[in-house]
């Protein structure tokens, strides 16, 4: 087991006073960064839930899911228009049409939108339709893309590479911030290990480690982290308990017919149930959590 002293040495490489992390480290900014998106503060006292389908599949699918997740307390709608698929023969997303549908869903529901950008040439286009730019796991090491989103002032959700270390994730944030964009949030989405029962291994260690080293918000994605819808509620609770600032959750009205990631997508009723169960967990550690339908006063 790694000793407390070893962890301190590691911190010294990465944090206070050291040149390694010039922007993302607590030496650059001791207090937590709170990123304001559409009236919500990510990284503040409130746990922010981003939810929606893996991919935009059509207007009805997107808008009905957006309405459902909003009714359950999600503040941000997630869905991919450009999808990074392992096989080039799998559904690749609906592209620009998908971005337009996301803007329509935002208009309909008032939810902010987070969607993935895969190509630096799509920056202006994506900024027109999205409130948060998602850098996917496969692109965490794509330094030209990181630099490109660094030139914009849109908040960036930076997902951890599936085989990347926490240190590499921190330096990926530096690439974005060096361009002047300081609104970066990390997303732990599970890493590849020898385990095969789950899609990835949810590295919840990363949450307190990132919070200790960096002032940036940390989001957890238990959908990609586990690959199983029924594991999403328990891992969401665990993520909040270890200090995550928010969650990124896949929800689909008909998971069996989903064009991608059905097995890890919660049905809206199950998502709603989970949201109700998350509030006491958040409150137990002094965070606030909003889920409509719960008439108890906000105690934080």
Positions that interact with ligand PEP (CB under 6 A): 54, 80, 84, 136-138, 159, 189, 224
Record the tokens describing residue 26, joined without a space: 């607590």
| Closest distance of CB 137 from ligand PEP, Å | 3
Q: Which is nearer to ligand PEP, 80 or 150 (CB)?
A: 80
Q: Footprint of Mn ion on this chain (CB under 5 A)?
A: 54, 261
DSSP SS3 for 104 = helix
Q: Which is nearer to Mn ion, 188 or 261 (CB)?
A: 261
Q: Which is nearer to ligand PEP, 10 or 85 (CB)?
A: 85
Residues 125, 99 contacting (CB under 8 angstroms): yes
Binding partner at 159 among ligand PEP, Mn ion, none, C-beta below 5 to 8 Å by kind: ligand PEP
Q: Which is nearer to ligand PEP, 100 or 138 (CB)?
A: 138
User: CA 241, CA 199: separation in Å to the nearest integer?
Assistant: 22
Binding partner at 137 among Mn ion, ligand PEP, none, C-beta below 5 to 8 Å by kind: ligand PEP
Q: Which is nearer to Mn ion, 5 or 256 (CB)?
A: 256
| Closest distance of CB 136 from ligand PEP, Å | 3
| Closest distance of CB 288 from ligand PEP, Å | 25
| Closest distance of CB 222 from ligand PEP, Å | 11
Q: How many CB atoms lie within 10 A of CB 171?
A: 19
Residue nearest ligand PEP (C-beta atom): 136
Q: Which is nearer to Mn ion, 54 or 130 (CB)?
A: 54
Residues 94, 81 contacting (CB under 8 angstroms): yes
Binding partner at 189 among ligand PEP, Mn ion, none, C-beta below 5 to 8 Å by kind: ligand PEP
Q: Beta strands 246-250 and 218-220: pairing type?
A: parallel
The phi, psi pair for 17, rounded to 5°, reads 75, -10
| Closest distance of CB 224 from Mn ion, Å | 6
User: CA 262, CA 125: separation in Å to the nearest integer?
Assistant: 28
Exposure string for 89-124, b = 16+ CB within 10 A, e = fewer: eeebbbeeebbbbbeebbeebebbbbbbbbeeebbe
| Closest distance of CB 30 from ligand PEP, Å | 30
Binding partner at 126 among Mn ion, ligand PEP, none, C-beta below 5 to 8 Å by kind: none
Q: Which is nearer to ligand PEP, 72 or 137 (CB)?
A: 137
User: CA 25, CA 9: separation in Å to the nearest integer?
Assistant: 15
For residue 247, the surrounding DSSP H or E stretch is strand 246-250
| Closest distance of CB 189 from ligand PEP, Å | 4
For residue 276, the surrounding DSSP H or E stretch is helix 268-284
The residue written with tokens 């920056």 in the block is: 123
């Amino acid at each position: 087991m790694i000793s407390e002293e070893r962890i301190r040495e590691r911190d010294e490489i990465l944090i206070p006073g050291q040149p390694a992390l010039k922007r993302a480290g607590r030496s650059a900014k001791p207090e937590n960064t709170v990123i304001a998106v559409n009236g919500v503060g990510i990284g503040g006292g409130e746990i922010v839930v981003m939810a929606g389908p893996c991919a935009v599949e059509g207007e009805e699918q997107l808008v009905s899911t957006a309405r459902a997740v909003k009714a359950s307390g999600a503040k941000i709608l997630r869905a991919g228009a450009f999808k990074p698929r392992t096989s080039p023969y799998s559904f690749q997303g609906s592209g620009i049409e998908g971005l337009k549908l996301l803007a329509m869903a935002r208009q309909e529901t008032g939810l902010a939108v987070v969607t993935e950008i895969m190509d630096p040439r799509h920056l202006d286009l994506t900024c027109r339709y999205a409130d948060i730019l998602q850098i996917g796991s496969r692109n965490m090491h794509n330094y030209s893309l990181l630099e490109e989103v660094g030139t914009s002032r849109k908040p960036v959700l930076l997902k951890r590479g599936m085989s990347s270390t926490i240190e590499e994730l921190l330096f990926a944030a530096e690439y974005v911030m060096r361009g002047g964009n300081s609104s970066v949030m990390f997303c732990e989405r599970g890493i590849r290990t020898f385990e095969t029962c789950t899609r990835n291994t949810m590295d919840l260690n990363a949450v307190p480690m990132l919070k200790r080293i960096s002032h940036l918000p940390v989001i957890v994605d238990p959908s990609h982290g586990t690959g199983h819808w029924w594991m999403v509620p328990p891992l969401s609770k665990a993520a909040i308990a270890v200090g995550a600032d928010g969650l990124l959750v896949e929800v689909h009205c008909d998971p069996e017919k989903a064009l991608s990631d059905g097995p890890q997508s919660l049905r809206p009723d199950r998502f709603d149930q989970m949201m109700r169960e998350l509030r006491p967990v958040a409150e137990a550690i002094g965070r606030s959590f909003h889920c409509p339908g719960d008439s108890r006063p906000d105690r934080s």
